Amino acid sequence: MGGTKTLKRIHWALAGWIGVNGLLLAAGAGQAQRDLPMNRIKIGLVFDVGGLGDKSFNDAAYKGLMEAERLFDVVTRTIEPADGSDRESAIRQFASQGFDLVIGVGFIFTDDMIAAARRFPGVRFVTIDHVVIPDQPPLPTNLLGIRFREQEGAFLVGALAGQVSQTHTVGFVGGMEIPLIRKFQAGYTAGVKHVCPQCRVYAAYAGSDPSAFADPTKGKELALAQYDRGADIIFHASGKTGVGVFNAARAQGKLAIGVDVDQFLEAPCCVLSSMLKGVDVAVRGSIGEVVEGRFQGGVRELGLAEGGIGYVHDDRNRRWIPEAVRDRLEKLKNDIITGALKVPVE
């Protein structure tokens, strides 16, 4: 992206992960202080808006944390801020108590993590969905900012929607209207238009502040409006707000596309596919680097080529996706990876 240094890439696979056996409730601020072994690496994770149970971004981060706990025998603690005002204090709490790695889940952590990394040079930090600011000074060497090429996966599910739509009209529901989510919209629209130039794409956002990622009522309202205007498939990139999109799809007997994780079970009647974003991969991989003494600060980016972005295609959605559609999607995927096809970000 404009103004960034050369981006280092990491190659962490998405497949083959063991499922999480239930979710522990996020601890409050006090959990970070309990029973911390002196001889084991300690990982603190602070959740994004919406918290655990969003069936999307935060739950993916938690999945990666639990996988790392089992694989690397690390000690993990989590804090779920009540609102954005105590996000910085949660980061500082972990850092001041001697945690080896502190992970902030979400773009809104960017400034707070940079400040914390400078204040606590002996602690390592990771920001998921790090925001690169043009002309920004180099990041502290103890901070790793992980970004994703979300537009690549959005392009593929857009190409899927464009081929499957019966009405030649599809929709997009975003959470907060920011450049990060507009990447999803841009990729999705480009994918739709690539396979169906005559298709119409409606787009709407739930709001202009982080609460837009935790408003299922608004998500349902926006989705119903698009279905009423003729859309038969809606892709959401809106965190917990997407629950409302699935509710609307269920009520209307239409299709929806999930995001971040496989969201089929949220509405088995109606989930055509999901765009996968390897938040779990990023969390698990960065913890592994700390454990193995390979941690390096800077900015890294994950896309299709690195296995950090993908889409769901399996027997459950075969009823909607003919083999010829799947074959075309795989060719488009390969073209993106090789650079033969460029996906816009806006």
Instruction: Encode pLDDT of 101-141 as tens digits.
Output: 999 999 999 999 999 999 999 999 999 999 998 888 899 99
Given 3.40.50.2300, 3.40.50.1460, 3.40.50.720, 3.40.50.300, which CATH number is that of 150-276+313-338? Answer: 3.40.50.2300
State residue 38's pLDDT score.
Answer: 65
Give CA–CA dist 273/316, Å, rounded.
9
State residue 175's pLDDT score.
Answer: 97
State residue 281's pLDDT score.
Answer: 95
For 125, list phi and psi in degrees, rounded to 5.
-135, 150
State residue 156's pLDDT score.
Answer: 98
User: pLDDT truncated to tens, each residue of the chain (346 aa)?
Assistant: 333 333 333 333 333 322 222 222 233 334 444 456 668 999 999 998 888 988 899 999 999 999 999 999 999 999 998 765 688 999 999 999 999 999 999 999 999 999 999 999 999 999 999 999 888 889 999 999 999 999 999 999 999 999 999 999 999 999 999 999 999 999 999 999 999 999 999 999 999 999 999 999 999 999 999 999 999 999 999 999 999 999 999 999 999 999 999 999 999 999 999 999 999 999 999 999 999 999 999 999 999 999 999 999 888 877 889 999 999 999 999 999 999 999 999 9
Give CA–CA dist 191/193, Å, rounded.
5
Instruction: Encode pLDDT of 237-252 as tens digits.
Output: 999 999 999 999 999 9
State residue 83's pLDDT score.
Answer: 62
The token pair that represents 139 in the structure block: 């990041």
Residue labelled with tokens 């892709």: 235
State residue 39's pLDDT score.
Answer: 80
Residue labelled with tokens 């929806």: 256
Cβ proximity of 75 and 101 under 8 Å: no
CATH 1.10.3720.10 given to domain 29-148+279-302: no
Cβ proximity of 214 and 82 under 8 Å: no
What is the distance, to the nearest Å, from the Cα of residue 194 to the centroid of all Cα atoms in its chain? 24
Q: What is the pTM of this model?
A: 0.86
Give CA–CA dist 312/291, Å, rounded.
31
Label the pairing between strands 42-46 and 75-79.
parallel
Q: Where in the chain is the domain with CATH 3.40.50.2300?
A: 29-148+279-302, 150-276+313-338
Q: CA dist 201 to 63, 313, 334, Å?
A: 33, 22, 25
